[in-house]
Chains A and B, each alone.
Chain A
Amino acid sequence: MTTAATLDGNEAAARVAYALSEVIALYPITPASPMGEWCDTWASEQRPNRFGTVPEVVEMQSEAGAAGALHGAVSRGALGTTFTASQGLLLMIPNMYKIAGELSPAVIHVAARAVATHALSIFGDHSDVMAVRPTGWAMLAAASVQEAADLALVAHACTLESRVPFLHFFDGFRTSHEVARVELPDDAAFDALIDESWIRAQRARALDPNRPVLRGSAQNPDVFFQAREAANPFTAAVPAIVEGACARLAGVSGRVYDLVHYHGAVDADRVVVLMGSGTGAATEAVDALVARGEKVGLVQVRLYRPFPANAFVRALPESVRTVAVLDRTKEPGAPGEPLYLDTVAALAAADRPMPRVIGGRYGLASKEFTPAMAKAVLDAAAEPSPRRGFTVGIVDDVTRTSLTVDRSFRTDHARVRALFYGLGSDGTVGANKQTAKIVGDHAGLHAQGYFVYDSKKSGSVTVSHLRFDDAPIRSTYLVERANFVACHQFGLLDRLDVLAAAEPGATVLLNSPYAPEHTWDRLPREVQEAVIERILDVHVVDAHRVAREAGLAGQINTVMQACFFALTTLLPLDEALEAMRRSVRTAYRRRGEPVIEANLAAIDAAVPALVALPHPAAATATHGRRPPVPAGAPEFVQRVTARMLAGEGDLLPVSALPVDGTFPTGTARYEKRGLATELPVWDKDLCIDCARCALVCPHAAIQLKVCAPDVLDGVDVDHKPFRSKEQAGLRLTIQVAPDDCTGCGVCVDVCPAKSKTEVRHKALNMAAAEPIMERERARWDVFGTVEAVAPGTLDPATVKGSQTRVPLFEFSGACAGCGETPYLKLLSQLYGDRVIVANATGCSSIYGGNLPTTPWGTDAAGRGPAWSNSLFEDNAEFGLGLRLALDGQVDDARRRLRELAPAVGFELATEILDVDPRRPADDATMDAQRARIARLDDALDALATPDALRLRALTDVLARTSVWIVGGDGWAYDIGAGGLDHVLGSGRDVNILVLDTEVYSNTGGQASKATPRAAVAKFAAGGKATPKKDLGAEARRYGDVYVAQIAIGANDVQAVKAFTEAEAWPGPSLIVAYSTCIAHGIDMATSMTHQRDAVRSGYWPLYRYRPAADDHTHPFQLDSHEPTLGLAEFAMQEARFAMLARTNPDHAVELLALAEADARERWHYYEQLAGIERILPHVPREEP
């Protein structure tokens, strides 16, 4: 029986974990989420584990919850596991101590990831696993996909035998997401490693009223210490137990794993020590150096805790004089990083001469670690006085820790080293995973696939790094020298140095929308020069045309994949295409014959459409690659941001980066991505000035300005008379930012103004972008210079009024059609100049705060939202902390101003003190107060006394500063629910905006407690059986919390009112905002129509709960009408509901009937609430 498979590290580990677990408690976190998703999928398919039962797979509210559930499960004698990373692992720490202290077998599989410090990073390093070293868990480090499969089994076996819980980790992304051909443990391996008696022993330890015991006691000084030492023999036994398991595995599989593995010269004088995926790169370096006659070696630590000191010393050749230890983590202030200190301690205790030990850091947050870097470390080890506490892989020009790397040292000799540049939406990554599987599944060939994404959710660029060879591939780093480069999107040639890694003579495949004879002239000069200088063999195919003709508009992946096989000699073409056909039939078997047939047609048509690119002997291009940012961008953007945008962030030295993670805002406006193939075009003659287009635009890419009567005369933008109650004679202009628009079409969908003679023609219509791009670019530039009426001219509490204000949240990388961003943009328009945003981790923190750029911007005066992300779980508390600080500062500043009134002038002081910054302020009040504060600042500067300087540091708070706490439902309903509840109960003036997509959007659509009944989501693949939590109801119970439930696409007037009322309410406010999401399975162009239907069907009632102290107050106001649309009619328009009807129609009918009943019951309840009087005993705070 063959056990070969081509899969990624997550799936490899999950397969073993699933087979050996009975309870799997989960919480999604990148990059570990797929392990849980696999288990959930298998459980929903009723796939049995090795014991013949289907594991209980449960999603918890946080990793702390998952660890608690795991603790409970193993306490009841079950075999339990969980998967996590980073912050998630940190949340498990308390239970990890407990589980280990109670000697309960358990396994946590960790896709090791950076812990957030100055910034969050989803990428791989060991800072998370190093943080749990003291918990008492054994720790096994896998270095490859193959090891992830095998050591997962070793971990499950050894925890049962030893009773010590095991943490099995491998590097996030590099291993968790690398696709590789591996041999999976077979039945013989499972049988050889697992002894049934251990499972019976675990059962016997279960809490059982038939055999009652007490566990988890509280102990006093008399016995705690001794009891803590009582478990020592169990820990001590672990190395031998792991060795035994590995030996048994080797016996049946031939795959040998030492606790500490040595590789290299037998007479090495210097070695590098490390754990994890870096081993692959280091092995290549050592092999190359040994071949050159150098005496070097590599020590790979697999069992990290308990640290196998004896095995470590045994593994190290006697000849070694210098040991260089590499840690993939940073412990500021320590004498060295953890593995270094363990090495020193092990050697110090050994009965042998102490070699010289040096240590350094590498690979933080998936920073590349290449053979050249490993060589740099070994070179340093040969120096007479090498640098201690070095870094490798970066240029540290501040504290000069970094080693110099000879980048010409290369060891990558795979037969095919291929790079593929694509867009997230074009299926390039999926196709390349299939290619890796096709080749990897072919006898005698080995495949490796690794995929790099940028952090955008719309128009994201993907780079696939694929290697194929006859021998196993252990190049655990990106392809640096490619003999095949494909560019799946022609436009990327203008943005990125796509051919940077192409070696001389490399094959290049371009997807060109132009005829082959016209393609050359469209290439930027740099590309033409590279083709000529490096004698590249360039081929072109119009994959968009081939795909379109096959019925797959926009899906070019199949065409490009076939062309790849045609241009490489990995497999005979017929065999490769036949394998592709089989793969298409398997991959799309659930999606129906028509999709399969269209893909098969695309395969057949691809290769005939592929031609060699005819080109002259010299470059002829008149244009070059576009600069990443415009010439007028600020200095920081030019110096730092532009390098990141160009894909050169790795080359930035330490000195280029802020020391504390603090960055300028307003940078997205310099990133001109030009994604849209279609743009909205305004027909001013039909426009009715409703401003809905600007309101709902997820990217602030359509903006309007209302101008004084003659401002637009002679200006090359369209404009029309503006209907206004406030002022006559004003003009309106609406303009699209053509390079920032994603072409999502939401603005056209909501536009209510239809032609009287042809209803399909509206005041906004999509049109092909290319013919109008230059005109619109010029107009957008002009639009930026047009002077609008002052913000206070129109009432901001109206849709029109709000949209005439400048958005200070623009051009984010959110998905095309995103339902969340319009709310943030509205917030920025209303209060951007005075707001601090506390943003929970999630989609909004990624499109809001993932480098290189941020959409949060500044106004002409330089004011704008101050933004920060603390964590996922603590956002409400973080926001409250900001408020507490502000409140204290306001009190302090006002007290000091009173005291300094004689010095700064009574009149000025009184005027300032008359404006209470704890109350909302209109624009005029803000402007006047700021002008007074400027005068005050001048006066204080002139005084320059200690008291004056103390006040001077606080004067800004004398004008209103708001705190808005923003996050998604994963935060508000689940992981942050406790903190949110506490903050709602605090009585403090914070505004909380919950962007409710009803799933964990950022990690790929896992169910939360906001997920509605009957919807399908990850971890609720069979349809969620329980109803959505009524978050607003929980907040309303406090009585003094302003609560609104809104849907901007259903009732924009109510939405705008809710924002202004929340800001005005002096206590806590909560806005629950319905946010459409791609995880709903809808066409995002109709995002707002779905919101409308959600409200019309009673699925999402709109209301505002406005606490008031007045007699006979009815605080609950129902803002939506009685349902006029059946819930099923709404639901069946969304794949999340409709999918269940396709998979399990009877269950779907049953759940939808319950969901319908939920909606009816809620409506009935809300109707009654609207009639209820509730009076708030409210006493205004006194001045201190």
Chain B
Amino acid sequence: MVELATSYLGLDLSSPIVASAGPATGRLDSLQRLADAGVAAVVLPSLFEEEIVAASHHVHALLSQGAGAFGEAETYLPEPAAIVAGPERHLELVEHAKARLEIPVIASVNGMSRGGWVRYARLLAEAGADAIECNVYAVAADPAETAQQVEARVLDLVRAVRDAVTVPIAIKVGPHFSAFARFAYELAAAGADALVCFNRFLQPDIDLDTLDVAPTIELSTSADLRLPLRWVAILARRVPCQLALSGGVHTPVDAVKAVLAGADVVMTTSSVLRHGPAHVEVLRAGLARWLEEHDYESVAQARGSVAQAAAADPDAYERANYVAVIERGMRTFNVRPTGSAR
């Protein structure tokens, strides 16, 4: 029997398979189904400070509309005692998830201000989260802001959160940093116990009927595994923190690759949404079977064995080998060099 037990953020996990933040981790009943299916840990949906601030002002504006303006109506909507415009729902979910589940519960936060990061990370920790995942979700769209300033801002918030909570923290970032290997090192140095590679951002689309810009998100596929796989492989055994691979993990084979590249845990959202909570067991069992069939004793033994630092051909993770890849792709899809397809 191959040993799948893993440690992540100082937490003992039964396997490396973790459900990352998404709709399936936002409700107690589906959290329970994930736990029943054998998921090793769950990351709850991010508490977005921006949403809380907007919701608070929005609720205030709507409930204030027309209030105190007309003799026949003091207000126009009831204001029930239980109305929630703050972080209560998230905190409640943390508390209930902790009370209900036996697996570790990781809370996720996304701040828009230094104060917000600190406040909400602290609240989530106080609510009982075993660890905090800082979901750095910002598009560096300000032409006046340099890459150094962007990185400094993120490092600053990592330090702030590090100082604010005692539980371990993971930093989840996007792949769009120009010198990511170095930046990853600095994140670890600033206090990150783990890096989560990577965030998948909502990508805006244009509605051709209305010419409105509408955010969209599509579930990932196994093809999306490549990007995090490369970076986990590059960083593994090099940066002084743990690594979680997130994005594109759909099959047991994907999970195996993630472990081989060096991921301490393998996170999945899309596969659970596509196949249901029970799919985590498919991933776990498939990973175990592969390791067993290939005579590994444990997941720890396999972890990072094909990382850049351990690979037979380390350059392969960096090589700009697109010409050969394109040619192989054209053969696969029977595309002639002239472009005319048959």
- CB within 8 Å of B: which residues of A? 30-31, 33-34, 37, 40-41, 44-45, 122, 173, 177, 423-425, 427-430, 433, 451, 453, 455-457, 460, 462, 551, 555, 588, 590-595, 598, 754, 759, 815, 846, 1001-1005, 1016-1018, 1021-1022, 1077-1079, 1081-1082, 1084, 1135-1136, 1139, 1142-1145
B55 surroundings in chain A (CB, below 8 A): 592
A1001 to B75, CA, bound (A): 10
Q: Does B65 contact A (CB under 8 A)?
A: yes
Write the nearest CB–CB distance from B78 to chain A, whole angstroms.
4
Q: Does B139 contact A (CB under 8 A)?
A: no
Whether the pair A1021, B52 counts as a contact (CB closer than 8 A) is: no
* Given known A427-B64, A591-B59, contact A1135–B77 (CB-CB < 8 A): yes
Write the nearest CB–CB distance from A956 to chain B, whole angstroms.
36
* Given known A592-B55, A592-B56, A1135-B62, contact A1004–B85 (CB-CB < 8 A): no
Write the nearest CB–CB distance from A392 to chain B, whole angstroms.
24
Whether the pair B72, A592 counts as a contact (CB closer than 8 A) is: no
Q: Does B80 contact A (CB under 8 A)?
A: yes
Whether the pair B52, A1003 counts as a contact (CB closer than 8 A) is: no
Q: Does B71 contact A (CB under 8 A)?
A: yes
* Given known A593-B56, A1081-B65, contact A1143–B84 (CB-CB < 8 A): yes
* Given known A424-B68, A428-B68, contact A1017–B85 (CB-CB < 8 A): no
Whether the pair A1078, B70 counts as a contact (CB closer than 8 A) is: no
Candidates B69, B80, B89; contact of A1021 at CB < 8 Å: B80
Whether the pair A592, B68 counts as a contact (CB closer than 8 A) is: no
Main SS class of interface, A: mixed
8 contacts between A and B (CB under 8 A): A37-B78, A451-B68, A462-B68, A591-B63, A1004-B72, A1078-B65, A1142-B83, A1142-B89
Q: Does B74 contact A (CB under 8 A)?
A: yes
Q: Does B57 contact A (CB under 8 A)?
A: yes
Write the nearest CB–CB distance from A1021 to chain B, whole angstroms.
4
Whether the pair A460, B78 counts as a contact (CB closer than 8 A) is: no
Extra 11 A-B pairs, beta carbons < 8 Å, given A429-B68, A1078-B76: A33-B73, A45-B81, A424-B70, A462-B68, A591-B63, A594-B52, A594-B86, A1005-B76, A1018-B78, A1081-B65, A1142-B89
A759 to B211, CA, bound (A): 7
Whether the pair B73, A1003 counts as a contact (CB closer than 8 A) is: yes
Interface centre among A815, A1004, A1143 (most CB of B within 10 A): A1004
- CB within 8 Å of A: which residues of B? 52-53, 55-57, 59-60, 62-87, 89, 211
Whether the pair B69, A1016 counts as a contact (CB closer than 8 A) is: no
Write the nearest CB–CB distance from A45 to chain B, whole angstroms.
5
Main SS class of interface, B: loop
A771 to B69, CA, bound (A): 28
Candidates A30, A429, A1145; contact of B72 at CB < 8 Å: A30
A460 to B53, CA, bound (A): 29
Write the nearest CB–CB distance from B23 to chain A, whole angstroms.
13
8 tightest CB-CB pairs across the interface, nearest first? A424-B69, A592-B56, A1004-B73, A592-B85, A429-B68, A594-B56, A592-B86, A453-B71
A430 to B63, CA, bound (A): 12
* Given known A815-B66, A1003-B73, contact A41–B78 (CB-CB < 8 A): yes
Whether the pair A594, B57 counts as a contact (CB closer than 8 A) is: yes
B69 surroundings in chain A (CB, below 8 A): 423-425, 429, 453, 457, 460, 462
A854 to B89, CA, bound (A): 48
B84 surroundings in chain A (CB, below 8 A): 590, 1142-1143
A815 surroundings in chain B (CB, below 8 A): 66
B62 surroundings in chain A (CB, below 8 A): 1081-1082, 1135
Candidates A40, A594, A759, A1136; contact of B77 at CB < 8 Å: A1136
* Given known A590-B79, A591-B85, contact A424–B64 (CB-CB < 8 A): no
Write the nearest CB–CB distance from B84 to chain A, whole angstroms.
5
A41 to B85, CA, bound (A): 19
A330 to B72, CA, bound (A): 24
- Chain B residue with the shortest CB-CB distance to A1149: B27
- Chain A residue with the shortest CB-CB distance to B213: A759
Whether the pair B66, A1139 counts as a contact (CB closer than 8 A) is: no
A423 surroundings in chain B (CB, below 8 A): 69
A425 to B64, CA, bound (A): 8
Whether the pair B80, A44 counts as a contact (CB closer than 8 A) is: yes
A30 surroundings in chain B (CB, below 8 A): 71-72
Whether the pair B75, A1005 counts as a contact (CB closer than 8 A) is: yes
Candidates A122, A425, A551, A759; contact of B71 at CB < 8 Å: A122
B79 surroundings in chain A (CB, below 8 A): 590
A45 surroundings in chain B (CB, below 8 A): 80-81
B70 surroundings in chain A (CB, below 8 A): 424, 453, 455-457, 460
Write the nearest CB–CB distance from A123 to chain B, whole angstroms.
8
Candidates B57, B65, B71, B85; contact of A173 at CB < 8 Å: B71
Candidates B59, B66, B87, B211; contact of A1135 at CB < 8 Å: B59
A598 to B83, CA, bound (A): 19
* Given known A1003-B72, A1004-B74, contact A424–B53 (CB-CB < 8 A): no
Whether the pair B64, A555 counts as a contact (CB closer than 8 A) is: yes
A1145 surroundings in chain B (CB, below 8 A): 89
A430 surroundings in chain B (CB, below 8 A): 64, 67-68
* Given known A590-B85, A1142-B84, contact A1004–B75 (CB-CB < 8 A): yes
* Given known A30-B72, A595-B60, A1002-B72, contact A590–B83 (CB-CB < 8 A): yes
Whether the pair A427, B77 counts as a contact (CB closer than 8 A) is: no
- Chain B residue with the shortest CB-CB distance to A452: B71
Interface centre among B52, B72, B84, B86 (most CB of A within 10 A): B72
Whether the pair A1004, B76 counts as a contact (CB closer than 8 A) is: yes
A1149 to B316, CA, bound (A): 50
* Given known A1079-B77, A1142-B84, contact A594–B53 (CB-CB < 8 A): yes
Whether the pair A593, B86 counts as a contact (CB closer than 8 A) is: yes
- Chain B residue with the shortest CB-CB distance to A554: B61
A425 to B81, CA, bound (A): 24
A754 to B212, CA, bound (A): 11
Write the nearest CB–CB distance from A806 to chain B, whole angstroms.
29
Candidates B53, B64, B83, B211; contact of A1143 at CB < 8 Å: B83
B87 surroundings in chain A (CB, below 8 A): 593
Whether the pair B77, A1005 counts as a contact (CB closer than 8 A) is: yes
Write the nearest CB–CB distance from A692 to chain B, whole angstroms.
15
- Chain A residue with the shortest CB-CB distance to B63: A591
A306 to B63, CA, bound (A): 45
Interface centre among A424, A759, A1135 (most CB of B within 10 A): A1135
Write the nearest CB–CB distance from B191 to chain A, whole angstroms.
26
Candidates A34, A457, A592; contact of B52 at CB < 8 Å: A592
A455 surroundings in chain B (CB, below 8 A): 70-71
* Given known A591-B85, A592-B86, A1144-B82, contact A427–B68 (CB-CB < 8 A): yes
Write the nearest CB–CB distance from B73 to chain A, whole angstroms.
3
A37 surroundings in chain B (CB, below 8 A): 78
A40 surroundings in chain B (CB, below 8 A): 78
* Given known A590-B79, A590-B81, A1016-B78, contact A595–B68 (CB-CB < 8 A): no
B81 surroundings in chain A (CB, below 8 A): 45, 590
Write the nearest CB–CB distance from B8 to chain A, whole angstroms.
30
* Given known A595-B85, A815-B66, contact A1021–B56 (CB-CB < 8 A): no
A77 to B148, CA, bound (A): 78
- Chain A residue with the shortest CB-CB distance to B85: A592
B63 surroundings in chain A (CB, below 8 A): 591, 1081, 1135
A1002 surroundings in chain B (CB, below 8 A): 72-73
A846 surroundings in chain B (CB, below 8 A): 72
Write the nearest CB–CB distance from A832 to chain B, whole angstroms.
27
- Chain A residue with the shortest CB-CB distance to B79: A590
B60 surroundings in chain A (CB, below 8 A): 588, 591-592, 595
A1081 surroundings in chain B (CB, below 8 A): 62-63, 65, 76-77
Write the nearest CB–CB distance from A814 to chain B, whole angstroms.
11
Write the nearest CB–CB distance from A131 to chain B, whole angstroms.
21
A754 to B69, CA, bound (A): 36
* Given known A122-B72, A1143-B83, contact A592–B59 (CB-CB < 8 A): yes
Write the nearest CB–CB distance from A1049 to chain B, whole angstroms.
15
